[in-house]
Chain A
Amino acid sequence: MTLMYPDEVQDLPDGYRGMIEYDWDSCIKCSLCAMVCPADAMKMYVSKEESEREGKTVKRPGINYTRCIFCGFCVDICPTDSLRFTKVHDVAYYTYEEQIYPPVEFSKGVPKPFYFREPKRVRVILDERRGIKYEPVGES
């Protein structure tokens, strides 16, 4: 039952609502993600460079992980799939500010969790006799 985290790390099912990936190119800057966010974690930032180039205000989403509750509403409403779930949820930060991702940083992908040793990846097997069993999986 007990997982020896962080030496063992669980492989999560598809559709797990972890930290969010942002694709810069496919975003149509519709702001729906910021509008639906219940926690005010997703906000539209003025993209200075683009605004100057296009001669009008261009806004792109950025995320504040200190506020995000991982409800996934932003991902589900994004009409172009620019936002996607990742399975990363275990990241630690030194400062509060580091957890706020303006659009450019947001588009660089989610941080890789830090482990002292490369953890053993395990998968949950629902078992008739034991309830939950962990089974090792290959590198993913």
Chain B
Amino acid sequence: MSSMEEREIELLIGPQHPASGHMRLVAKVDGDVVVELRPNIGYVHRSVEKLAEVKKYLQIIPLVERPSLADTTANNLAYVMAVEKLLGIDPPERAKYLRTLLAEINRIHSHLYGLGIHGVMIGSSTAYMWCFGDREPFLELAQELTGARLTYSYIIPGGVRRDLPAGFGERAERVLRYMENRMKDYFDLYFNNPVVRARLEGVGVLSRDDAIRLGVTGPNLRASGVAYDVRRAEPYAAYPELEFDVVTEQAGDSFARVMVRVREIVESMRIIRQVLRKIPEGPILHENYEKLIPPKLREEMKRRGMVKFPSVFANLRVPAGEAISRVEGGRGEVVFHIVSDGKLSPYRMRMVTPSFRNVILFEHLTRGVRVADIPAIYGSLDYFPPEADR
């Protein structure tokens, strides 16, 4: 044994909540310098993919939402888009706008969640409280729209389940104005705080080339200067008709990753405003399905703005084939691959979640950093353990 090896000790970090959930980091340290850090991702939502093989198509919607509770819409949308590809249908325009609306509300929620957790990891419980408190108005909006706080199951093949409630636009506008004002406080207290900057700037730098090579996705990729966003690269829902910027930062350090999220919140608010202004009138469920609903029920459903499922949804048959869909979730790209053999359940379903692709960064970014930098880097990755393990 060399003298170098004798100096290294193994340090087990976590699992603890709220910082890491069930995830544990196994660090090898020399003094307080990290020699090697291996994430032990733990297990929560195992077998979502396997379980999907015995569930019917509609029943998989709540299932795929589970791995990623802060960002359920992205999974819901990506899954339904793949099913729609197999069914060969395209949802009506209004439904597309509503999908976009919920996706963006969810993105803000997801980013605030990530920023809050990051705050508490580097010791700012104020940032944590603020971010978590400010998710609340957005959750209220989502709840008004869908009837649930987190697991919306809002997007269904051929459309969405609910129409905009009366007065939604006005209430949303108030929330957006609140959040805009609030941003100033965030900068004063947190992002421009010298302590926060010292802990984040230049820490955990991910170069542009490495980001691409490692297959990193989402805000973590954009913070390294790569302007890749599925909403632009392969537009879906109402995104082709909306104006928004793909936020990038050049530094690639922890601060840049945090900043990308903050700036994306602003972009999302811009998108929400446009959606509410431009949303077209019309049905929210594809006509193929709408016409299967008995006429009386259809009238009632239009009056209430709540979709009734046609009875075929109980045993939705999807033509044989394969489909892949991609969606930009809060933490990055969500990919679904469904293989259908024409039966009631998918023959095989595969989902690729952003955290699964980003988890690799733990090992990559922490080599040679100080132990105190681990939480700063961890938090900046917005890594969501259950999402990696599905």
Contacts and interface: CB of A to CB of B under 8 A. Distances in A.
Interface string B290-320: 0000100100100000111101011100000
A55 interface: no
A126 B61 CA distance: 30
B165 A126 contact: no
A71 B141 contact: no
B302 to A, nearest CB: 14
A54 to B, nearest CB: 23
B178 interface: yes
A128 B58 CA distance: 38
Contact of B147 (A72, A127, A130): A72
B62 A69 contact: yes
Interface in A21-45: 30, 32, 35-39
Nearest to A129: B178
Interface string A57-89: 000000000000111110011010100010000
B182 interface: yes
Given A35-B315, A69-B62, A76-B306, A131 B175 contact: yes
Interface string A94-136: 0000000000000000000000000000001011111110000
Summarize A's interface: helix, strand, loop or mixed: loop
Interface stretch (B130-138, B231-239, B321-329): B130-138
B143 A38 contact: no
B40 interface: no
Q: What bracket does the count of chain A residues touching chain B fall in?
A: 20 to 34
A129 B179 CA distance: 9
A131 B185 CA distance: 13
A24 B63 CA distance: 30
A1 interface: yes
Interface of B: 55-56, 58-63, 133-134, 136-137, 140-141, 143-144, 147-148, 151, 153, 161-162, 165, 171, 174-175, 177-179, 181-182, 294, 297, 300, 306-309, 311, 313-315
Interface of A: 1, 12-17, 30, 32, 35-39, 69-73, 76-77, 79, 81, 85, 124, 126-132
